[in-house]
């Protein structure tokens, strides 16, 4: 389990990020049509960009596809739970 601590952290962060941000947007807008897709897509793009930037701009951090996978799964579960909790 110690080897997966980083991936669990990525999952939990992106789950929380998507759930909280999506919930805030749903409370603010009348047009709920694309909120889920926009939040999910933005979260995935931000996570991938951060991986690319840490590889290119730092000396002690590396790009990791598994981090992007953990981010994506966390974001997907966040959207899924958000859709259940905030049913129209």
- Count the domains in the chain: 1
Closest to 39 (Cα-Cα) out of 16, 68, 10: 16
* Structural domain harbouring 67: 2-85
Please give the average per-residue pLDDT across 37-63, as a whole number: 95
| Two structure tokens written together for 80 | 């899924």
pTM of the predicted model as reported, rounded to 2 decimal places: 0.89
Q: In angstroms, rounded to a whole number, what is the distance separating the alpha carbons of residues 72 and 6?
A: 14
pLDDT of amino acid 32: 80
- pLDDT one-digit tens code per residue, 12-34: 999 999 999 999 999 998 888 89
Contact 2, 61 (CB under 8 A): no
| Two structure tokens written together for 5 | 């601590």
**For residue 7, pLDDT beyond 70:** yes
């Amino acid at each position: 389990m110690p080897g997966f601590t980083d991936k669990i952290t990525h999952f939990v962060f992106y789950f929380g990020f998507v759930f909280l941000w999506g919930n805030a947007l749903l409370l603010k807008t009348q047009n709920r049509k694309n909120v889920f897709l926009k939040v999910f897509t933005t979260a995935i793009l931000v996570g991938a960009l951060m991986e690319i930037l840490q590889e290119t701009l730092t000396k002690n951090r590396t790009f990791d596809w598994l981090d992007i996978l953990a981010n994506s799964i966390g974001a997907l579960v966040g959207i899924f739970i958000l859709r259940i909790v905030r049913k129209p």
